[in-house]
Amino acid sequence: MDFPARFSDLPAATWPRLRALLDVPTEASETINMTIGEPRHAFPAFVGDILAANLQGFAKYPDNYGIPALLDAIGGFLNRRYGLDLPGDQILTLNGTREGLYNAAMALCPEHKNGKPVILTPNPFYQVYAVAALSVGAEPVYVPATEATGHLPDFHALPADVLDRTAIAYICSPANPQGAVADEAYWRALIALAEKHDFILFADECYSEIYRDVPPPGALQVATAMGADPERVVIFHSLSKRSNLPGLRSGFCAGGPKSIAHIRQLRAFAGSPLPEPLQAVAAAVWNDEEHTVENRALYHRKYEIADDILGHVDGYHSPQAGFFLWLPVDSGEPAAVKLWQETGVRVLPGAYLSRDVNGDNPGEKYIRVAMVAPTQELQRGLTLIRDCLYR
């Protein structure tokens, strides 16, 4: 039997690869997992009551595009947060944003654009971006997001012929894993570049509600203010990080009416809608901002802890937003193994989030540390990291 060759050069998936790397004994009596970005703060207390009141919704097939209450709630969030006034047909609910980030490429990437289409992705990046590019037969181009570029991809540095073939560019802000934020000037320049070369921006904004002081600007917010083509930007948001509900699988995408119509059309055939009781919960959570303020306060304290413990480390950058630390090391895999064996702390080698380009992997000399644990556990974990790797 023949299998598709387009996925033949995929590296091993991140988590099986990490389990194999750390399949060695540890000297520690207690372990601390700081690998996965799974929030461990409390989610809103009203979630259980909303779910219980809507259990009968499990007895019917869910609305594929989102129940009216959920679309209204998402529209309200977009209005409060970004000043956007979008009708329901420019919003599509998702069963987690990973589904949307993948299927939006399936729905919107053309078969040809001045030859074989290109999909741009930051490097390092969320792995679904590359798999989406391969799935649609596009050429993935990995654009370094390094200290030299402010940990955001410099798409302007690409050759004109690559930009002319570009159909889609993925961009994550606040960035996973570095915590860098695209400011308004960055968005304006990137949107102008997309207008010039006629490609779509997929703005992954899943960490947008975890920040220090100033809310990060949104791609669609800036594009609207610029008067850009309404189809130029599609944004993706989630309750996983904003509201500590990764298991709810509630996200959405929003953009121009034609783009969302195409994604909806594909979803009608191949989508996986969120059950209506969960949509009711999501509507209540999107409507509430009080819990997000409390959540940010917890992360503010964690930023302070990280700065106090690791601020002296050469090359340490305190994240502007999000909940990851991108820590410099000589080499990510040996550092992760040493840390596990000697302290029981599990972290993720940065190279597992990156791809080699011309023999260089921009994540090779980093480890990613998720600051999702309770405060005392986080403090202990970061102290062990400091004493093991930086002293």
Picking from 243, 230, 205, the residue whose alpha carbon sits closest to that of residue 82 is 205
Number of residues written out for the chain: 391
Cis, peptide link before residue 177, omega less than 30° from 0: yes
Q: What is the mean pLDDT of residues 286-313?
A: 97
Domains with residue ranges and CATH for the chain: 9-37+291-389 (3.90.1150.10), 47-288 (3.40.640.10)
How many C-alpha atoms does 34 have within 13 Å on its Cβ side?
33
Q: What is the mean pLDDT of residues 37-46?
A: 95
Structural tokens at position 20: 């194999």
Digit-coded pLDDT (tens) for 329-387? 999 999 999 999 999 999 999 999 999 999 999 999 999 999 999 999 999 999 999 99
- 253 vs 233: CA distance, rounded Å: 10
Is-contact 142 290, C-beta < 8 A?
no
pLDDT of 98 reads 94
The sign of the dihedral angle between the CA atoms of 282, 300, 306, 149 is positive
Residue type at position 205: E
Q: Is the pLDDT of residue 233 over 90?
A: yes
Contacts of 171 (CB under 8 A, 6+ apart): 122, 152, 153, 182, 190, 201, 202, 203, 204, 219
Q: Is the pLDDT of residue 221 over 90?
A: yes
pLDDT of 272 reads 86
- 73 vs 86: CA distance, rounded Å: 11
Q: Is the pLDDT of residue 148 over 90?
A: yes
pLDDT of 41 reads 95
Provide the pLDDT confidence category of residue 5 given band limits of 50, 70 and 90.
confident
The rounded percent of the chain whose pLDDT value lies above 90 is 94
| 280 exposure class (CB count in 10 Å sphere: 0-12, 13-18, 19+) | buried
pLDDT of 275 reads 96
- Residue 116: φ, ψ to 5°: -70, 130
pLDDT of 107 reads 97
Give the C-alpha distances (Å, rounded to integers) separating 53 from 50, 283, 285: 5, 13, 15
- 326 vs 340: CA distance, rounded Å: 17
Alpha helix ranges (H) inside the chain: 14-21, 47-53, 68-82, 97-108, 128-135, 160-165, 184-197, 219-226, 239-242, 257-270, 276-287, 290-310, 332-343, 375-389
Q: What is the mean pLDDT of residues 290-317?
A: 97
Q: Is the pLDDT of residue 9 over 80?
A: no
Digit-coded pLDDT (tens) for 211-220? 999 999 999 9
- Strand 166-172 vs strand 233-238: parallel, antiparallel, or unpaired? unpaired
pLDDT of 36 reads 93
pLDDT of 6 reads 83
Q: What pTM value is reported for the model?
A: 0.96
Q: Is the pLDDT of residue 17 over 90?
A: yes
pLDDT of 13 reads 87
Q: What is the mean pLDDT of residues 22-37?
A: 94
Mean pLDDT of the chain: 96
- 287 vs 391: CA distance, rounded Å: 47
Picking from 237, 274, 282, the residue whose alpha carbon sits closest to that of residue 63 is 274
Picking from 215, 221, 216, the residue whose alpha carbon sits closest to that of residue 201 is 221
Q: Is the pLDDT of residue 170 over 80?
A: yes
Digit-coded pLDDT (tens) for 246-256? 999 999 999 99
pLDDT of 67 reads 96
Contacts of 240 (CB under 8 A, 6+ apart): 39, 96, 97, 206, 246, 248, 251
pLDDT of 10 reads 78
User: 334: how many CB neighbours lie within 10 A of its CB?
Assistant: 12
Q: What is the mean pLDDT of residues 303-331?
A: 97
pLDDT of 298 reads 97
Digit-coded pLDDT (tens) for 71-124? 999 999 999 999 999 999 999 999 999 999 999 999 999 999 999 999 999 999
Question: Residue 35 in 3-state DSSP?
Answer: coil
Is-contact 142 360, C-beta < 8 A?
no
- Strand 250-255 vs strand 118-123: parallel, antiparallel, or unpaired? unpaired
